[in-house]
């Protein structure tokens, strides 16, 4: 078993664990951000509903003021009926009075509809406030849990990082540079197995991209202690028995 390739295989094993530990730490911290985003979204919804509620109230107030003016007009028309001097004048005033009353009824219906909308919006706003309060309480718990988990996960990352540094110290600088470059390209997967295709003797493929590997490359892996890379995906190749 070649020392370079087995060292790279060992480094890959530690790399996998290190990235997994870092991913768990990131997810742990992300849980707080996600909860904060939920609260922010709920607050934005509440603010939008409050603005809508304010506009509805303004509209209702304007109609109330309009209705008040119409009521005053009706009172004047009734008084004018009592002082009408001719039947024609009386009929004309009566027509205006009835029309104004009909218009008032329409305005009153509009006001009632707006009042229902205001009541519904107020209830929805209160529901949002309650939900925000509940989500804030949940955020406090999420933060506590995240802090507790993050400490343990951070310790795990640091511990695995020590192992990674030790494994990396056994690799030549040139080989390590290649490993890092390929790992960055493939989300940490720099070293992959070469395996014989099922049912096809002496036909090999890269388990990273599943493309065929030449027998010459396989022979080099068997006889030389050097990096051989997949011609297709450029990952570092190792024989299956080498990788740990």
Q: Would you place residue 122 in the very low, low, confident or very high pLDDT band (cuts 50, 70, 90)?
A: very high
What local confidence, expressed as pLDDT, does residue 219 receive? 92
Task: Name the packing angle between helices 3-82 and 173-185 (round to 10°).
Answer: 30
- Phi, psi for residue 70 in degrees, rounded to 5: -65, -35
Q: What is the Cα–Cα distance from 187 to 111, expressed in whole angstroms?
A: 62
Q: Is the sign of the CA dihedral 33, 38, 39, 45 positive or negative? A: positive
In this predicted model, which residue has the larger pLDDT, 189 or 241?
A: 189
Distance separating alpha carbons of residues 106 and 112, to the nearest angstrom = 10
Q: What percent of the chain has pLDDT over 90?
A: 84
For 226-235, the pLDDT digits (tens) are: 999 999 999 9
pLDDT at 1: 38
Segment among 97-106, 200-209, 227-236 with least mean pLDDT: 200-209
Question: pLDDT band at residue 143, thresholds of 50, 70 and 90?
Answer: very high
Q: What is the mean pLDDT of the chain?
A: 92
For position 243, what pLDDT does the model report? Answer: 42
Q: Which CATH class for the 3-170 domain?
A: mainly alpha
- Confidence class for position 244, pLDDT limits 50, 70, 90: very low
Kind of pairing between the strands at 191-196 and 212-213: unpaired
Q: Residue 198's pLDDT is what? A: 77
Chain Cα centroid distance, residue 222: 48
Specify the pLDDT at position 109: 94
Amino acid 10: pLDDT: 94
* Annotated domain spans of the chain: 3-170, 176-239
| Residue scoring higher pLDDT (243 or 62) | 62
Give per-residue pLDDT as tens, 26-41. Answer: 998 899 999 999 999 9
- Contact at 8 Å (CB) between 207 and 214? no
């Amino acid at each position: 078993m070649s020392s370079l390739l087995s060292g790279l295989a060992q480094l890959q094993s530690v790399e996998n664990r290190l990235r997994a530990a870092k991913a768990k730490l990131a997810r742990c911290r992300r849980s707080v951000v996600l909860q904060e985003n939920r609260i922010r979204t709920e607050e934005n919804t509440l603010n939008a509903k409050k603005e809508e509620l304010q506009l509805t109230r303004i509209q209702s107030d304007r109609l109330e003021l309009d209705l008040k003016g119409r009521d005053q007009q009706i009172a004047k028309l009734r008084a004018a009926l009592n002082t009408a001097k001719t039947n024609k004048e009386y009929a004309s005033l009566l027509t205006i009075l009835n029309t104004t009353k009909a218009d008032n009824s329409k305005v009153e219906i509009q006001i009632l509809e707006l009042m229902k909308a205001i009541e519904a919006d107020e209830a929805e706003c209160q529901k949002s406030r309650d939900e925000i309060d509940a989500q804030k309480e949940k955020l406090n718990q999420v933060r506590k849990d995240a802090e507790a988990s993050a400490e343990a996960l951070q310790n795990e990352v640091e511990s695995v990082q020590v192992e990674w540094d030790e494994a990396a110290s056994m690799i030549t600088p040139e080989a390590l540079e290649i490993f890092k470059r390929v790992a960055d390209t493939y989300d940490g997967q720099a070293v992959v197995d070469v395996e014989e295709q099922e049912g096809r003797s002496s036909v090999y493929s890269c388990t990273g991209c599943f493309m065929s590997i030449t027998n010459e490359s396989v022979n080099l892996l068997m006889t030389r202690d050097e990096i051989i890379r997949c011609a297709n995906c450029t990952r570092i190749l190792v024989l299956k028995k080498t990788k740990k």
